[in-house]
Amino acid sequence: MDSKTIFSFLHDHFLFKFLSDEELGQLLPLFNPISLEEGEVLYRAGFPGRNFFLVVSGKMLIKDENQNGVIINSRGHFGDRELH
């Protein structure tokens, strides 16, 4: 995913659409696209989270230590609690 695609995604995303193009440009270097295969683990419950994630396409299943799960759909986000 190139920087133009990331910029466009952020520009249209409800969390970032209030930012100016200049402000989005300043945030752009902070975003690192990753791709996961179905069933691949991004990180495990209990590990310290230091990242905020945006789902560009597909779905992400998030499970806690008790195996309770929630599905994050395309254009959703997770990891914001770890940023507090």
pLDDT at 84: 59
- Please check whether residues 28 and 40 belong to one and the same domain: no
Entry pTM: 0.77
Identify whether residues 27 and 42 lie together within a single domain: no
Q: What does the pLDDT look like over 68-83, one tens digit per residue? A: 889 999 999 988 776 6
Q: Are residues 59 and 72 in the same domain?
A: yes
For CA atoms 9, 11, 17, 19, the dihedral sign is: positive
**How many distinct structural domains can be found in the chain?**
2
| Residue type at 76 in one-letter notation | G
